[in-house]
Amino acid sequence: MPKNRFVEVLAVGKTLAEKVWDAHVVRRGEGEPDLLYIDLHLLHEVTSPQAFDGLRLAQRPVRRTDLTLATEDHNVPTTPGPISDPISLTQVETLRRNCEEFGIKLYPMGDAEQGIVHVVGPQLGLTQPGMTVVCGDSHTSTHGAFGALAFGIGTSEVEHVLATQTLPLKPFRTMAVTVEGELPAGVTSKDIVLAVIAKIGTGGGQGYVLEYRGSAIRSLSMEARMTVCNMSIEAGARAGMIAPDETTFAYLEGRDHAPRGEDWDAAVAAWRELRTDDDAEFDAEVVLDAASLTPFVTWGTNPGQGAPLGDSVPDPAQMEDSERQAAERALEYMGLVAGTPLRAIPVDTVFVGSCTNGRIEDLRAAADVVKGRRVADGVRMLVVPGSARVRLQAEAEGLDAVFTEAGAEWRLPGCSMCLAMNPDKLAPGERSASTSNRNFEGRQGKGGRTHLVSPLVAAATAVRGTLSSPSDLQPLSAATAGHATQEA
């Protein structure tokens, strides 16, 4: 989008991101950022209280309560009962008071629609192609899976959107992330995005909107696409997007907030235009071959420090100067020795959940692996659905029983151990295989050590006790496969 607009008007086509951007420009002034209209503003308890305070101080109302939705997710406990931490409780109660005072719809703990904000929006059909979606949460990039321009903002910007339903923004650059070919069995969209981040680095996407394209991306389900877009921020990108197609429309049709009847037809007609023109130019492009991908795991303390599961812990001495010091520090924090096969790393905890991998397909994939097997001795496995709806759906399918019979804990929905704001934490030195999005130092609890993995790898790791993929597991015999309670 920093391209010369005059030239653009004359000849060059537009990318998907540029189309959505241009359709939301309220005002464009010389030497100023564009003023962009926001179609959907999602709120949670952590990044909103100071924004509401700002509104009160300036005596400003919320401009569009009908384009705003709040849910409680970061602080909520995943075991039954009230919030025991008084400071967490204050934050949640503050959100409740603010939503009541300003007239904003809130899905509180215990509500049938409560859940992680990025799971709730899509499942209600509120996230639709071509929209602008923001939230005081960096993983807002998730919603880009629908061809929406969706990005995380800070609390000052939350206040700005509440007051004006707009944001002043400088156009983002565009990067094509093209993944062609067929994914091998056992390789998921999580592995795609971890491989992308390892390739371009945690700053590689800085200033860009990533558009994921290619046959491997088109073949993904909506839920798998959300996983990819979710982690765009871990490459430093503002947003990730995927052009809407029949998969998108099929997912949306009939959802609570999706258009109906003639509106549906009009919407789909508009959505079909939301694709990058053949003659459009990206500012950068990255290409990956899907067939060459394998299950991917992180070994370090940022999401770019990852490798195929079949590799060993890398040797910092072999790295370039710019990466060596960070890698040495990461290995020290992680308690890892260069040359150790990744498959030999034992874990204490397995976490399945989060806005990255807490949707029904993720739980089905993990359940499929642990069914008829047992979580290894000494390993704790937590399964935390992304929303109340996901939880109910999983229970209707009997997944909760599969997990509990394998020895895993089946929890209530929330952000949980992804960021350890609730009681679900790693102890110092404890090591996890986690389907979440960040392996930063202390992210899952002070001193905790995190390996980011797909749901399939998480489940196989729970069974073997060391980082593993399902192909490492002993096949279930016909006799045990039908009896989930027996040990494989």
Partner 1 sequence: MEAFTTHTGIGVPLRRSNVDTDQIIPAEYLKRVTKSGFEDGLFAAWRGDETFVLNDPTYAAGSVLVAGPDFGTGSSREHAVWALMNYGFRVVISSRFADIFRGNSSKAGLLAAQCSQDDVELLWKLLENEPGTSVTVDLESRTVTAGDLTAPFQVDDYARWRLLEGLDDISLTLRHEGDVTAYEKTRPSWKPVTL
Stretch that binds partner 1, among 81-89, 179-187, 372-380, 470-478 (CB under 8 A): 81-89
H or E segment and range at residue 69: strand 68-71
476 binds partner 1 (CB under 8 A): no
Q: Annotated binding residue at 229?
A: no
Separation CA 132–CA 266 (nearest Å): 18
Of 128, 98, 119, which is closest to residue 263 (Cα–Cα)? 128
157 binds partner 1 (CB under 8 A): yes
Among residues 75, 276, 349, 432, which is the contact residue for partner 1, using CB under 8 A?
75
324 binds partner 1 (CB under 8 A): no
- The nearer residue to partner 1, 126 or 459, going by C-beta atoms, is 126
Q: Annotated binding residue at 415?
A: yes
- The nearer residue to partner 1, 100 or 263, going by C-beta atoms, is 263
Beta bridge partners of 211: 176, 241
Among residues 3, 8, 12, 94, which is the contact residue for partner 1, using CB under 8 A?
94
343 binds partner 1 (CB under 8 A): no
Stretch that binds partner 1, among 41-49, 191-199, 375-383, 476-484 (CB under 8 A): 41-49
Query: Encoding tokens for residue 212?
Result: 């994921």
- The nearer residue to partner 1, 46 or 412, going by C-beta atoms, is 46
The residue behind tokens 């491989």 is 195
CB 125 within 8 A of CB 107: no
- Write the interaction track for partner 1 spanning residues 197-236; mark x where CB under 8 A is met and - where it is not: -----xx--xx-------------------------xx-x
Interface residues for partner 1 in 48-67 (CB under 8 A)? 49-50, 53-54, 58, 60, 63, 65-67
- Tell me the three state secondary structure of residue 465: coil
CA-angle at 373, arms to 368 and 378, nearest 5°: 120
What strands, in cross-sheet order, belong to the sheet with 68-71? 105-107, 68-71, 40-43, 132-135, 149-152
Kindly give, in sequence order, each residue whose CB lies less than 8 Å from that of residue 466, ignoring residues fewer than 6 positions away.
343, 344, 345, 346, 347
Q: Identity (one letter) of the amino acid at 430? A: E
166 binds partner 1 (CB under 8 A): yes
Q: Which residues of 50-64 are buried (b: 16+ CB within 10 A; e: fewer)?
A: ebbebbeeeeeebbb
108 binds partner 1 (CB under 8 A): no
- Tell me the three state secondary structure of residue 27: strand
112 binds partner 1 (CB under 8 A): no
Among residues 318, 325, 474, 477, which is the contact residue for partner 1, using CB under 8 A?
325
Instruction: Compute the least distance from the CB of residue 82 to partner 1, in Å.
Output: 16
Residues annotated within a binding site for [4Fe-4S] cluster:
355, 415, 418
